[in-house]
Structure 1
Amino acid sequence: MDQLTHLLNGFGQILTPQNLLWVIVGAFLGTAIGVLPGLGSAMAVALLLPLTFTLEPLSALTMFAGIYFGGLFGDSIAGILMNTPGNSTAIASSFEGHMMALNGRAPQALATAAIGAFTGGILATVLVVFFAPTMADLATQFGPAEYFALAVFAFIAISTVVADSVIRGLSALALGLALAVVGIDQSTGTARFTFGIPALFDGISVVVITVALLAIGEVLHVASKVGRRDDKKLIHAGGRPWLSGPEFRAALPAWLRGTGFGVPFGIIPAGGAEVPTFLAYGTERKLDARRAKPMFGKGSIQGVAGPEAAGNATAGSAMGALLALGLPTSATAALLLVAFQQYGMQPGPLLFERSADIVWALLAALFIAMVVLLILNLPFAPMWAMLLKVPKEYLYAGITVFAAFGVYAAGASTIDLGVMIGIGVLGFVMRQYDVPLAPVLIALILGPLAEYSLRDAMANSSNNAAVLVSSPITIGLYVVLVVGVIWNGYRRVQERRLAAELDAAEAAADESATTR
C-alpha cells in the first residue's frame, strides 16, 4: 500500500541521530512540563514556539510530536500521586489511580497509565496513517462555503462543550475573534482595532497571545494563591513498575475500549480529551458494578486504563484531523497549526502533496515518540514525580523569564512585551471566572480562515447567502452541529436535575437526623 511505503520513507528520514535527539528532547520536556499542575503540552508548545525559528522544520515538528504526547502522560503522574491532575484530561484517570496509590499500588497505577497512553496513541496513529490521506482527498471537495461551515462547527462545538457555562464559552470565542481581526484588513486595507498604533498594523502575533494566555495568565493565577494551605502530599511510588499477568489481562480490554472512545473524539472539535476520558471512565464503572467483586472506589485498574487510552487516542486522531483538514480540535492542536504556519506550511488537503516528505516523517516521529515515552515513563515515573517538589516561586518565576525571553526573541519588540503583559492579565481574569481558554485559541487560529471563506463564498455567489448551505457537506456539518448542541444542552439539564435531586436527598437526610 502507498501509505506503508510513504511511512517507511518517513522512518528513513526520522531515524537519524539529530532527529531522534529532537524526539527524545520533546518527550522529555513534554513529560516534565505535564507533571507540573496547571501546565501541560499546550503551554510547552507555546513557550517553545518562539525559540524554534532557527530549527529546520522537521526538527521542530518532531520535537513538538514528543511534547504533544508527553504532556498527556505527565498530567496523569500528578493526578495519581497527589490527586492533583496536571490538566483536565487527567481528571478521570485520577479517581481510581489515586485510590490505587493510597493502597500501595502507585507503581502499578503509573504503569497502567503509561501502557494505556502507549496503546491508545499507537492504535490511533495507525488509523491516521491509513485514513488521513483519504480524508485529505475528501477535503479537496471543500470550497469557501464548506470551510466556513467547518470553522463555525469548530467555534460552536468547542465553545459549548468545554465550558460549564455556554455564555462563558461564547464570550471566550468572541474574545478570540476580536484578537484575530486586529491589524490591516488585507482585502480593503482598513486598519481594525489598532487604535492608531503602528506596531499593531500587522496584527498581534499568535505567539504573543498564546504565551500570554497560557504562561503569564497561569503565573498570575498561581501567584494569587500564594499563602493558602495545601495539605496534599506526594505518595511514594517505589516498587514494581510493571503489571503482573492478571493485572495486564484485566487492563487490556479497558485499554481497547478507551481507544474506541478516544479515536472519534479526536476528529470532533470538542476542545480536547475531557469528554472521551469521562465516557471511558463511566463505561468501566458500569461494567465493574456487574462483577462479583466491584473495585471502583477502592482502586480499580480498569478505571485508570480506560481514560488513559482514551486521552492519547484522542490526541492521535486529532493529529489526523489537523494534517488532513487543517482543523485543530484542541488547544494544543491549534498551537501545532501555528508551528506549521511559521514554516510556510498550511495543514489541509494540499499538505500531503506539497510537503509529503515532512508529513510522513512527522507521522513516523509520532510512533517513535510513543516508544520513547514508554521507555522514559514505565521505569522512571517516580523520578518525574520529584518535579512536584520544586518550590512554586522558583518554578513560575523561571516560566515568566522564559516566556518574556521567547516573545522578545521572536519579534525583537518591547511593544510585544507590553501586549504580552496586558493579555496575560486578561488570561488571569479568565481563570478567576472559569472562562475557558480553548475557544480563544481556536477562534484566533480559525478566525481569519472563517472570515476569508465567508467573503469568498459571498463574492462568488453575488452575495447570495443560500450558498452557505448549498452543498451536502455544509448541510451535514450544520445538522451535526445542531444535534450536538441539543444533546449537550439535554445532558447539562439532566446533570443539573440529578445534582438537585442529590442535594434534596441530602437535605432531607440532615433534617431527619436533626429531628431525631
Structure 2
Amino acid sequence: MDTIQFLINGFATALSWQNILFAFVGVLIGTAVGVLPGIGPMSGVALLIPVTATMTGGLPPEAAAVSSIILLAGVYYGAMYGGSTTSILLNTPGESSSVVTTLDGYQMAKKGKAGSALSIAAIGSFVAGLFSLVGLVLLAEPLSNIALEFGPAEYFSLMILGLLAVSGLAGKSMTKALMMTVFGVLLGTIGIDSVSGVTRFTYDIPVLYSGLEFLTIAVGLFALGEVFKTVLEKDNQASNDIIKIGKVLPSKQDLKNSSGAITRGSILGFFLGILPGAGATLASFFSYVMEKKISKDPAKFGQGAIEGVAGPESANNASSGGAMIPLLTLGIPGSGTTAILMGAFIMYNIQPGPLLFDEHPQVAWGLIASMFIGNVMLLVLNLPLVKVFAKIIETPKKYLLPIIIAISIFGVYAVQVTVFDIMLLIACGVVGYFLSKNDFPLAPIVLGLVLGPMLENNMRRALTGSNGDFMVFVQNPISVTFLCISALWLIVPALLKMRGKNVIINEEA
C-alpha cells in the first residue's frame, strides 16, 4: 500500500505543468537523437546536462533536480525508440541496439510495409515501456538483490552465451556467423589495453589508440553497404523506381503475429536491463534469436518478418526501464547512459542508492511517474508521424542514396571529427557489400565489437580475483549454467546437421 501511495505522490509531482513540459521536451529531443545516427542516447543526455541546469536555475534545489532528471530520462527512453526509424527506412542503425531491427525492418520497408513496421515499433516500445515501469515499481528491490549475485565470472559467461547465440542470426551458415563474430571481437581488441597500457594492433597510428568507433563500423557495414549494393547491382531503370509504402497502420494479422514477440521481448529486455553491462544491445539480439528459434517458419526471418521488428524493439525499450533499477536502488549504473544520469543526480547533491527512496522520495517517484507519462507521449507523438516517416521510403533512389550518404558521413564525423573515420566508413561500406554478397551476416560483427571489450574486461577481473585460476568460471552455478547453454548452442545444431546428412545418405542408399 505504501508503494501505491508513493506512486500517487510521484504522479502529483510529474503532472505539474513544468514537469509535463520537461517530459515532452525530453521525449521529443530523444526521438530526434535516436533518429540521427551518430548522437545516441549517451551523447544526447551528456550534451543536455548543462542545458537543463540552466533551464531549471530559478527553481528550488529539489524541484530543479526532479525537472532536470525527468527531461534527461525522457531523452534516454525517447532515443531508444527513435533508433528504429532510420533502421527500418534507410537500413542505417543509429546505435548498437538498433542493428537487429535493420534485419527485418528494412526488408519490410522494401516490400511496402514501412508503415506497419514503424507502427509495430511504436506499439511494441509503448507496451515494453509500461511493462518495465510496472516491474520497476514492484520488483526493484528483490531483482536488485539477484543482480548483486552476478560477479565478473557470471558476466563473462553471459557474454559468451550472447556471442554464441548470434549463430541464430546466421543466414545460411552458422560457421560464417561465428567467423564474423570472431572478426568483430578481434576488431574490439584494437587500441590501448586498459589494464597494461600496451597498444594493440595500432601500428603506431595515434587515431587507433582509442579503438574503432562502433558507429563507424555499423553505419559503414549496413548503410553504405546497402548504397553500394543498390548502385552496383541495379540497372539505371530499376534505380529510378519508387518503392510504394502500402498500408501505414499494421493489419490485424500483423498485430496477432507480433503480440507474442512484444510480450516476450518486454520480459526478456526488462530482466537483461537489470544486469549492469548487459543492456539494450544484448537484449535486442537475444530477443531476435529467441523469436527465430521458436518460430514455426524461421526461414522468413531476414526476409521481412514482423516478429523480427516487434521482439527486438520491445526488448530494446524494456531494457531502459530495467537499467533504472540498479541505478536507483543500488547506485550502480548499468550502462553508459545511466552512468551519465547518475552524474546528473550527483550534480544536484542526490546520491542514488538504497537511501534514495527514503531521503528523496519526490525525485525517485516523480521520475518513475514521469516515465509512465513520457511513454504515453511517445505513442501519441510517434503514431501520427508514422505516415511522415514512411514517406521517406517513397523518395526515388537517385535522391535517397545521397541523403543516406550525407546522414552517414555527418553522423560519423560528428562523433569522431577525424578524416580517418570517414575513410574507415567507406572501407566498411565496401567490405559490407562484399560480405553480404557472399552470404556472410553483418550483425555478428557489430555484436562482437560491442561485447568483445566487455568480455575481456570481465574475464580479466574474474582471473584477477582467483589468482589466475580458470576454475572460477565453473565454480558458480549461474556461470556454469550459462556456459552449458553456450556449449549446447553450438553442439545441438551441429548434431542435427549431421543427423540430417545421415538421413539423406540412407535414403539415397
**Whole-angstrom distance in 2 between the partners of 1:262 and 1:251:** 16
Aligned in 2, Cα 1:352/1:208: closer, same or farther, shift over 3 Å?
A: farther
Counterpart among 451, 455, 475 of residue 450 in structure 1: 455
Counterpart among 118, 129, 153 of residue 161 in structure 2: 153
**Whole-angstrom distance in 1 between the partners of 2:73 and 2:43:** 13
Q: How far did 1:380 drift?
A: 5.2
Partner of residue 103, structure 2: 88
Whether contact under 8 Å (2:474, 2:480) holds in the other structure is: yes
Q: How far did 1:149 drift?
A: 1.4
Whether contact under 8 Å (2:342, 2:352) holds in the other structure is: no
Partner of residue 331, structure 1: none
The answer for unaligned runs of 5 or more in structure 2 is 51-68, 92-99, 273-281, 298-304, 328-333, 344-350
Whether contact under 8 Å (2:168, 2:289) holds in the other structure is: no
Helix, strand or coil: the match of 1:56? helix
Query: What residue identity is the alignment partner of 2:205?
Result: I
CA deviation digits over 1:273-317, x for unaligned, max 9? 43555678759xxxxxxxxxxxxxxxxxxx97x887645543344
Partner of residue 40, structure 1: none
Q: How far did 1:469 drift?
A: 0.9
Greater mean alpha carbon deviation, residues 354-363 or residues 201-210 = 354-363
Aligned in 2, Cα 1:119/1:49: closer, same or farther, shift over 3 Å?
A: closer
Partner of residue 69, structure 1: 81
Partner of residue 244, structure 2: 234
Partner of residue 264, structure 2: 261
Whether contact under 8 Å (1:77, 1:385) holds in the other structure is: yes
CA deviation digits over 1:176-215, x for unaligned, max 9? 2222211222322322101121222232334443443444
**Whole-angstrom distance in 2 between the partners of 1:480 and 1:60:** 38
Partner of residue 429, structure 1: 434
CA deviation digits over 1:451-478, x for unaligned, max 9? 2222232233232221121111211211
Helix, strand or coil: the match of 1:87? helix
Aligned in 2, Cα 1:76/1:373: closer, same or farther, shift over 3 Å?
A: farther
Query: What residue identity is the alignment partner of 1:144?
Result: P
TM-score, normalisation: structure 2: 0.66
Whether contact under 8 Å (1:50, 1:409) holds in the other structure is: no
Whether contact under 8 Å (1:89, 1:273) holds in the other structure is: no
Counterpart among 127, 131, 139 of residue 135 in structure 2: 127
Partner of residue 316, structure 2: 315
Whether contact under 8 Å (2:41, 2:337) holds in the other structure is: yes
CA deviation digits over 1:370-408, x for unaligned, max 9? 423432455554444322212333333233333333433
After the TM superposition, which residues 79-478 of structure 1 pair with which residues of structure 2 at under 5 Å, given as runs?
Answer: 87-90=102-105, 118-119=126-127, 121-131=129-139, 134-227=142-235, 229=238, 234=244, 237=247, 257-266=260-269, 269=282, 271=285, 273-275=287-289, 277=291, 282=296, 310=311, 312-319=313-320, 337=335, 339=337, 367-376=372-381, 378-379=383-384, 381-478=386-483
Query: What residue identity is the alignment partner of 2:28?
Result: I
Q: Could you tell me the percent identity over the aligned residues?
A: 25
**Whole-angstrom distance in 1 between the partners of 2:427 and 2:392:** 30
**Whole-angstrom distance in 2 between the partners of 1:107 and 1:144:** 43
Aligned in 2, Cα 1:403/1:56: closer, same or farther, shift over 3 Å?
A: farther
Whether contact under 8 Å (1:155, 1:173) holds in the other structure is: yes
Greater mean alpha carbon deviation, residues 487-496 or residues 465-474 = 487-496
Greater mean alpha carbon deviation, residues 106-115 or residues 376-385 = 106-115
Helix, strand or coil: the match of 2:423? helix
Query: What residue identity is the alignment partner of 2:19?
Result: L
**Whole-angstrom distance in 2 between the partners of 1:394 and 1:359:** 47
The answer for unaligned runs of 5 or more in structure 1 is 34-43, 80-84, 284-302, 327-335, 505-516
**Whole-angstrom distance in 2 between the partners of 1:482 and 1:156:** 9
**Whole-angstrom distance in 1 between the partners of 2:375 and 2:497:** 35
Query: What residue identity is the alignment partner of 1:65?
Result: Y
**Whole-angstrom distance in 2 between the partners of 1:281 and 1:71:** 25
Q: How far did 1:364 drift?
A: 5.7
Partner of residue 513, structure 1: none
Partner of residue 24, structure 2: 20
**Whole-angstrom distance in 2 between the partners of 1:78 and 1:157:** 26
Whether contact under 8 Å (1:46, 1:210) holds in the other structure is: no
Helix, strand or coil: the match of 1:15? helix
**Whole-angstrom distance in 2 between the partners of 1:318 and 1:7:** 24
Query: What residue identity is the alignment partner of 1:175?
Result: F
How many pairs does the alignment contain?
A: 437
After the TM superposition, which residues 493-508 of structure 1 pair with which residues of structure 2 at under 5 Å, given as runs?
Answer: none
TM-score, normalisation: structure 1: 0.65
Whether contact under 8 Å (2:23, 2:374) holds in the other structure is: no
RMSD: 5.1
**Whole-angstrom distance in 2 between the partners of 1:359 and 1:427:** 45
Q: How far did 1:169 drift?
A: 1.9
